[in-house]
Amino acid sequence: MILVTNNEGYPGADTTARLLAEGRAALDAIEAGVRLVEADERVRTVGRGGWANILGEVELDAAVMDGASLRSGAVGAVRGFLHPVSIARAVMEKLPHELLVGPGAEMFAREIGAEPAETLLPHARQAWEAWFAGAVKGAERERWPEGGLIGHVRAQVQTDRPAGTTVFIARDRAGGIASGASTSGWQWKYPGRLGDTPIIGAGSYADRRYGAAACTGVGEMAIRCGTARAVVLYMKQGASVHEAVEEAVEDMRAMAGGLIGRITIHAIDSRDNFRVVAVNGDARNAYWLWQEAEPHATRRSCEAIAL
């Protein structure tokens, strides 16, 4: 058994570890852990308390994948619900679809009775209001939001705005492997922007036969390289988890243009080996690891690789 979750996973890591130790399925243990992160206001990049988009609205993304069936469920740009990860799981279990976005995802959330919530908290509202007051003036303000978002979004991204995600990948006692991810995405992103988190194969992927992978950081990079799927596919082709992550990093070196920044790749295989690499990051990037027989998840420093 093994659990790897990123730095932001701390509110849920021990709960997921305990459930795995009790013999629960990886997907159940992961959902329980991600829900704790989503509800925790200290985590400023996931669920309630996450950062707003350029219009001052919180749009949340989440995904789960069951590595036994290769079924997944994901939601993108969802407003007004506390637990996007559970809405994503319900997409997987109740619909013949894998991904819902925007108003359709919100309609589905209401239909299944998902818990509504005010997700824009005072710190995020005040941060957006301060930005708006300083950046949008005069005639532009009169027209807002028509006609002028592109330049603002480009400027914000260049200044390395706060972002973050939680990702959980785990292997349970019965050999089941699953993944889960949830985020508010980049602060002041363009409305409707999806990062890698709701895109299965980019931000997360799980296949019981080989392992699982999940990314945090610049989601645009994981989308372009299909990173989570690539790591698992390299393992299918015979690479160790170490080599598979190396190869996925190598793929990133082919990217030219677009948004290139920090991205962390987390991976496990079906024999409880793991690797976590902070691409363009440093050892201050951390993750949580729990393995069979340990009482708690422990915080570790990431390996760092520059592109």
Catalytic residues, by residue number, are 165
Q: Is 13 in the site for ligand ASP (CB under 6 A)?
A: no
Q: Is 183 in the site for ligand ASP (CB under 6 A)?
A: yes
Taking the C-alpha atoms of residue 130 and residue 116, their distance in angstroms, rounded to an integer, is 27
The one-letter amino acid code at 287 reads Y
Least distance from C-beta 44 to ligand ASP, angstroms? 11
Give the binding-site size for ligand ASP (rule: CB under 6 A): 12
Least distance from C-beta 265 to ligand ASP, angstroms? 11
- In this complex, which beta carbon is closest to ligand ASP, that of residue 180 or of residue 217? 217
Q: Is 16 in the site for ligand ASP (CB under 6 A)?
A: no
- In this complex, which beta carbon is closest to ligand ASP, that of residue 176 or of residue 183? 183
Cα–Cα nearest to 216, from 1, 3, 24, 5: 5
Site mask, ligand ASP, residues 122-151, x = CB under 6 A? ------------------------------
Q: Is 217 in the site for ligand ASP (CB under 6 A)?
A: yes
Cis amide leading into 96 (omega within 30): no
- In this complex, which beta carbon is closest to ligand ASP, that of residue 176 or of residue 195? 195
- In this complex, which beta carbon is closest to ligand ASP, that of residue 21 or of residue 218? 218
Q: How many CA atoms lie less than 13 Å away from 38 in the CB half-sphere? A: 33
- In this complex, which beta carbon is closest to ligand ASP, that of residue 36 or of residue 199? 199
Cα–Cα nearest to 153, from 123, 102, 193, 202: 193
Q: Is 179 in the site for ligand ASP (CB under 6 A)?
A: no
Q: Is 106 in the site for ligand ASP (CB under 6 A)?
A: no
Q: Is 216 in the site for ligand ASP (CB under 6 A)?
A: yes
- In this complex, which beta carbon is closest to ligand ASP, that of residue 136 or of residue 286? 286
Pick the binder of ligand ASP from 164, 176, 211, 281 (CB under 6 A).
Answer: 164
- Site residues for ligand ASP, 280-299, by CB under 6 A, read none
Least distance from C-beta 302 to ligand ASP, angstroms? 13
CA 143 → CA 8, 56, 129, 133, 148, distances in Å? 38, 16, 17, 14, 8
Return residues touching ligand ASP (CB under 6 A).
Answer: 163-165, 183, 185-186, 195-197, 216-217, 219
